[in-house]
Amino acid sequence: MSQIDDLPPLRDVIRTHALDARKSLGQNFLLDLNLTSRIARSAGDLENVTVLEVGPGPGGLTRGLLAGGAKRVVAVEKDRRCLGALGEIAAHYPGRLEVIEGDALKIGLRDVAKGEPLKIVANLPYNVGTQLLVNWVACEDWPPEWTSLTLMFQKEVAERIVAKPGTKAYGRLGVLAGWRTDAKILFDVSPKAFTPPPKVTSAIVHITPKAEPVPCPLKALERVTAAAFGQRRKMLRASLKALSPDAETLIREAGIEPTRRAEEISVEGFIALAKAFAGDS
């Protein structure tokens, strides 16, 4: 195991600052700095970018990012107990780490990026991870503020993000990610890598924005996918009926047989459905 910096081992940091993990904050800490360095490397070149890290906790991934050469890291942490440990990292890397105490769901990416290229890298708290991803992908303007997302999710969520039609994991997340991004799973992370260990395996997902995704009315896409996958075993003519009395006609207008089921519809098919249903609420 190689040493990545001269700061104390994370086990000591956690003990010194009494950072016993809290379930309510989704706290499963990574203590192996070789692993956090590997995650940081997965985000590609960090030398000329600002990195937003959500939930630095005791700072294992933060240290991986800074030792890996990130120009600037902005770390948003809700748990103020972590601020002391993070302050020590900031002192070790002068001018490169800004810690914001707050809720990542309320952070505006433009304020973080300050005109620089922005990458988001995080071992996400499982309770807000999906919502954060949806916010970052379903944003009003495209291209987004970020140039890549390198994120740890529970493996089951990671599989839903990269899912293709015709699979069990395919659903709203897969359609949204498939529409605007290229997403792939890079590697799995065993529960044993975390303190405390979660019940399930995790995975690192790497996501980049598509340069020119097909234009699509976002609200309508959300409504159509929610209705279609909300009753995924039903035919579209039944599951989309609640959205419009003319559902069957609109589905045909989108070039889709109304007897098809959500799972069988491609991302392009959902975009066509969203366009057909856009004027009809």
Binding residues for S-adenosyl-L-methionine: 28, 30, 55, 77, 103, 123
SS3 at position 112: helix
CB of 238 to ligand SAM, least distance (A): 37
Query: 232: Cβ–Cβ under 8 A, 6 or more apart, which residues?
Result: 171, 239, 261, 262, 263
CB of 101 to ligand SAM, least distance (A): 9
Task: Give the start-end residues of each E strand in 6-49.
Answer: 29-30
Nearer to ligand SAM, 74 or 113 (CB): 74
Nearer to ligand SAM, 167 or 190 (CB): 190
Assess contact for 164 and 174: CB atoms under 8 A.
yes
Helix axes 267-277, 218-230, angle to 10 degrees: 110
Nearer to ligand SAM, 40 or 49 (CB): 40
76: part of which helix (H) or strand (E)?
strand 72-77
Residue whose token pair is 């098919």: 269
CB of 129 to ligand SAM, least distance (A): 9
CB of 29 to ligand SAM, least distance (A): 4
Pairing of strands 97-101, 29-30: unpaired
Assess contact for 250 and 280: CB atoms under 8 A.
yes
Count CA within 13 A, CB hemisphere, residue 177: 30
Nearer to ligand SAM, 128 or 137 (CB): 128
Q: Which residues are annotated as a binding site?
A: 28, 30, 55, 77, 103, 123
Nearest of 96, 185, 95, 173 to residue 134 by alpha carbon: 173
Nearer to ligand SAM, 148 or 154 (CB): 154
CB of 83 to ligand SAM, least distance (A): 11
Longest dimension (CA), the chain: 66
249: part of which helix (H) or strand (E)?
helix 247-253
First to last CA, the chain: 58
CB of 30 to ligand SAM, least distance (A): 4
Assess contact for 274 and 217: CB atoms under 8 A.
yes
Query: In the bound complex, which residue of the shown chain has the CB atom lying closest to ligand SAM?
Result: 55
Nearer to ligand SAM, 49 or 204 (CB): 204
Nearer to ligand SAM, 79 or 145 (CB): 79
Kindly list the residues in this chain that would bind ligand SAM in the complex (CB under 6 A).
25-30, 54-57, 60-61, 76-79, 82, 103-105, 123, 125, 128
Q: Which amino acid is at 125?
A: P
CB of 222 to ligand SAM, least distance (A): 22
